[in-house]
Structure 1
Amino acid sequence: MSSSPQSDGGKARANKLTKEERSEIARKGAMKRWEKEKKLPKATHGSSDRPLRIGDAEIPCYVLEDGRRVLSLRGMISALGMSGGSSSGGEGDRLVRFTDGKTISQFVSQNLEEKISNPIRFRSPHGGGTITGYDAVLLPELCEVVLEARQAGALQKQQMHIAQQCEALVRSFAKLGIVALVDEATGYQAERDREELHRILEAYLAEERLAWAKRFPDEFYRQIYRLRNWRWPPVGRAKPPVLGHITNDIVYDRLPPGVLNELRRRNPTKEDTKRRQWKHHQFLSEDFGQSDLKDHLLQVVAVMKVSKTWDGFKRNFDEAFPKPGTQIEMSLEDNE
């Protein structure tokens, strides 16, 4: 193979450089590449050791720092049963050439074409360089295109095995959904749940304890006393200890998961009295928590009024307002 004058000149210049100069050029080149890679998004979850398993396919999957769920390009190519890419373009070139082909391109939307032409480059969560991938939802979109082409009789004989792979993948997607699959495989599901809980608590709870104000109407207690066959009104301010248990059960424990636990953390019992210094509702946010509490109490009282016995009320109430998440053990303290 003949060389060009430019390449010959480059070799001649390189031969004139000292070992130190060549090392410095190599170092600067490496630094330039590193600076470029630092600008790429980084994966926070996922690794090649914990792939997404769908049937016989194993696809390395990741969650990026901006929340995008990404599948490894190489894993997608393998899962689709495609052969490797060309020497110049690799797997990315193989995928582009497949969707640009005469048999498939007529079924590929412009949006999907743009996605395939712009793979996502990102940094591995544990070092080890960069990875090329695609948004996880691209895989089911591509599978639908291939199956549509097969339905129309447009696939070539040598492409039918790809359609079979797509059919198997789509069946799995229909069971769980691609995003849920990636979250489970990467371990991001637990963090996602924590973030959701954080958002709920942020909306429900006040940054600072609010001044006491009457939040529980007398009718709430009057109905409890009626259904429990207790004497009304109570003598002085004395209330049965079990009233705190009831209040937690039918009010605070029916709020979103995690709210009651956080209220208990912010408003702990005092060691000497075994009672709480403040009322739980003083820690609910005015714009959301207090409003939701008021609406809930109105509904509780309504169910009480149409009930003849406490057991009947509890059956109706538990059906209408099932406890979210795992049942929490409740204390017997007064916490109106």
Structure 2
Amino acid sequence: MNASVLTASHYGVVRFGDLQCEAVVLKGGERGYVRRQLAKLLGFHETHKGGRFARFLADFAPNSLSELEKTREPILLPSGRQAQFFPAGIIADVASAVVSAAINGTLHKARQGIVPNCMKIMRALATTGEVALIDEATGYQYHRAPDALQELISKLLRQSCASWERRFHPDYYRAIYRLFGWKYQGHDQNPPHVVGQITQRWVYGPVLPADLIDEIRVRKGISQKHHQWLSDQGLARLETQIHAVTAIARSSTCYRDFNHRCTAAFAGGSLQLALLADELEEVA
């Protein structure tokens, strides 16, 4: 892997009202967005050259260009996909400048269409704040709260590895295989690597904080499975998530459709984790 590729340790979807944008926290703690998605909210689609977006930023947030120059190299998302990074701390200035230009009558008519989106972005940031929005969307708030995280670890993980039991029903694999046009041959078949990636992202990811998954990786042996380290409460959450992902896979027309549906259902994983923390507190 190219040494210049930075890695996102946390990923989620920020919501500016009814708008959505992929958000990330890099391993060094820097917060930001997937640039392509943020550009789309501002009227620049994949068919547009990156230079047009840069010129737009130069008009409305000229001080941001130096920050963008520092992040020209791609970043690696937890899914394995590469993307361009757009650092936090810029979008508020851009949205504000666009709205001000519209109010003053100096906004070019070709850009009038992005004013409603900029208003939504401004309202969301005024209510919550950009850092809090990203931390909530990506689950990074749990990384910043080690005491709360340790409490979750103590309740969701076992002290020692349990004996292996089947946790993923053949129906789960049949549903996932169908998305790729593959035929499931039974548990003796070694699943393709992509199936493991889907399981990590959409089964374990939404119900377990990234730091808890890292803790399992530290504890477990080569032949052990993640679920062998989960407590009864952790297994109950896992079981529910397996059923949910299986249902989505069965009703999806293809992998792209499945991925969109899972993103809509689970990418705001911090909400689920907050509910999980509440549930654990109630039964403690």
Structure with the greater relative contact order (CA < 8 A, sep ≥ 6): 1 or 2? 2
TM-score range, shorter chain: 0.3 to 0.5
TM-score, reference length from structure 2? 0.47
TM-score, reference length from structure 1? 0.40
